[in-house]
């Protein structure tokens, strides 16, 4: 088996010659304007096309095929909730025994009010990570046809193109932790990006990290696998930004807390998700390169395992971070006292943010991480958190989040607040602490302030996706968010949308 097995998502095409041969035919109809040919077909299938009170999916058989007719009441058929509810029923039916092994499905769109984002969400919901069990949905090929406007198809095509990369991010997170040690994660991402133009990759592995990335090496000390810092650069001709954009994603492939070990069994079983930030960054790189966006992009993904063992980093240890690009003596480092080994994410991000600010001369740094449980406690699975000192960055991510149905709660701390947080991080033996046990409130904000302090004068946008990256329970498709069990890919769409807005890319 592949070390990181991927999901088998259905293939998809538009106006395929095979559409008419599908054993399952679905018609999304405008209740006030049903073509005569569809009325005749429904009559043969013994299905009534009378307008429902809300929405219904009515099915029948004819000539060995299964037909579904999606109907919505005229007064509410434009509503997103109504359209999602209809496709929720379809999703359930495609999982039922009614399908009887059918391998393909054709969806015919006869409703011009049907929104492309709703259909995109439906296709997204067909995702299943089932390398280790029999999949409930047998449909392997989906054909889409319909007499809709060119603008509709362009909007849908743009949305659909990102789905493969979102599913890749979900696969990386859903994969069992023993199958994705740091070096295997890095290899899988490099393989996935290898066919794209203007992409280059560089790895820093194991003891090579000691000089410039000591926190990454120290966090991984308890593992028998080597830590890896993967650097991806996408540099097209004539980019719109003279200085690169830097993306940094936290990549802890499994986190049991180290010496400050986690004790909640429910939490531990989900700790394969702690590399969701890196998965988002990898997929954003893929989308940007595949679409040939004119943005110079540098991405860092520090991959580690934070494990308890006799070799683990201990509370009270110190890690070092370079003060400047050239390192010649111990005085060229800042030192951070480790107050909590389970607050490893801020150490990883601080190290890489510091390096990017010193060596890449970026115009903007974006960090993406499942960083703080306090963020999840505050926002649940409803919203992620976006933090920055720059108002324009927060405004753009706010619009991007609402556009892609990945909303963010915005936090813009003042200079005084940041200074106060950093004062609370003061250490008696080092330049700072990663956690101050005397100050237990505001941990998410304190973590951001520590990371921000290493960005120098470079604008920083921090996205904490702790509560939104992984859903613990199965949620209904028709609820407002994409609430299916497991990894969500939250951040891929909103970050891409943010980049398009920030750099005025159409």
Is residue 262 among the annotated active site residues?
A: yes
38: which DSSP letter?
H
Q: Are 112 and 30 in contact (CB under 8 A)?
A: yes
Whole-number Å distance between alpha carbons of 387 and 17 = 49
Is residue 346 among the annotated active site residues?
A: yes
In degrees and rounded to multiples of 5, residue 311 shows phi and psi of -95, -5
Q: Of 346, 389, 433, 500, which is the active-site residue?
A: 346
Q: Are 361 and 267 in contact (CB under 8 A)?
A: no
Q: Of 262, 314, 412, 481, which is the active-site residue?
A: 262
Sequential DSSP letters for 401-455 = HHHTT--EEEE---HHHHHHHHHHT--SSSSEES--TT--S-HHHHHHHHHHHTS
In 28-148, alpha helices (H): 36-44, 80-94, 116-125
HEC assignment per residue over 235-295: CCCCCCCCCCEEEEECEEEEECCCCCCCCCHHHHHCHHHHHHHHHHHHHHHHHHHHCCCCC
Residue 239's CB is within 10 A of a number of other CB atoms, namely 18
Known catalytic residues are: 262, 346
């Amino acid at each position: 088996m592949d070390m990181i097995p991927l999901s088998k998502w259905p293939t998809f095409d538009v106006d395929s010659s095979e559409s008419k041969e599908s054993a399952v035919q679905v018609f999304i109809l405008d209740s006030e304007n049903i073509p005569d040919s569809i009325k005749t077909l429904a009559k043969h299938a013994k299905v009534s096309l009378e307008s429902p009170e809300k929405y219904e999916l009515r099915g029948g058989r004819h000539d060995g095929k299964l037909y579904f007719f999606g109907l919505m009441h005229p007064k509410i058929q434009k509503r997103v909730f109504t359209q999602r509810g209809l496709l929720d029923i379809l999703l359930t039916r495609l999982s039922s025994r009614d399908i009887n092994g059918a391998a393909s499905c054709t969806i015919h769109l006869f409703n011009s009010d049907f929104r492309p984002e709703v259909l995109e969400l439906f296709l997204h919901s067909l995702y299943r990570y089932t390398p280790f069990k029999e999949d409930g949905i047998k449909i392997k090929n989906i054909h889409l046809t319909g007499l809709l406007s060119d603008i509709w198809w362009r909007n849908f095509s743009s949305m659909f193109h990102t789905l493969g990369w979102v599913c890749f991010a979900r696969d990386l997170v859903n994969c069992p932790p023993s199958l994705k040690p740091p070096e295997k994660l890095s290899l899988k991402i490099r393989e996935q990006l290898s066919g794209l133009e203007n992409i280059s990759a560089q790895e820093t592995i194991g003891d090579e990290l000691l000089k410039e990335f000591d926190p990454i090496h120290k966090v991984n000390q308890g593992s028998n696998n080597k830590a890896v810092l993967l650097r991806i650069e996408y540099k097209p001709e004539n980019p719109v930004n003279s200085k690169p954009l830097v993306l940094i994603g936290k990549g802890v492939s499994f986190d049991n807390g180290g010496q400050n070990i986690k004790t909640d069994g429910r939490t531990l079983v989900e700790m394969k998700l702690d590399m969701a930030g890196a998965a988002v960054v990898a997929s954003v790189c893929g989308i940007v390169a595949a679409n040939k966006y004119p943005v110079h992009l540098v991405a860092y993904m520090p991959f580690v395992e934070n494990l308890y063992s006799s070799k683990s980093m201990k509370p009270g240890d110190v890690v070092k971070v370079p003060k400047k690009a050239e390192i010649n003596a111990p005085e060229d480092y800042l030192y951070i006292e480790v107050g909590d080994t389970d607050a490893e994410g801020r150490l990883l991000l601080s190290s890489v943010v510091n390096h990017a600010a010193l060596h890449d001369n970026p115009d903007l740094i974006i960090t993406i991480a499942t960083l703080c449980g306090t963020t999840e406690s505050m926002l649940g699975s409803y919203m992620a958190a976006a933090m920055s000192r720059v108002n324009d960055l927060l405004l753009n991510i706010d619009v991007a989040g609402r556009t892609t149905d990945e909303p963010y709660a915005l936090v813009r701390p003042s200079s005084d607040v940041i200074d106060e947080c950093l004062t609370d991080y003061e250490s008696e033996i080092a330049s700072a602490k990663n956690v101050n046990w005397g100050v237990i409130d505001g941990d998410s904000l304190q973590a951001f302030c520590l990371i921000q302090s290493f960005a120098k004068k470079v604008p920083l946008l921090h996205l904490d996706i702790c509560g939104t990256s992984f859903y613990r329970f199965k949620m209904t498709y028709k609820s407002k968010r994409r609430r299916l069990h497991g990894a969500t890919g939250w951040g891929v769409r909103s970050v891409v949308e943010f980049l398009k807005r920030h750099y005025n890319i159409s």
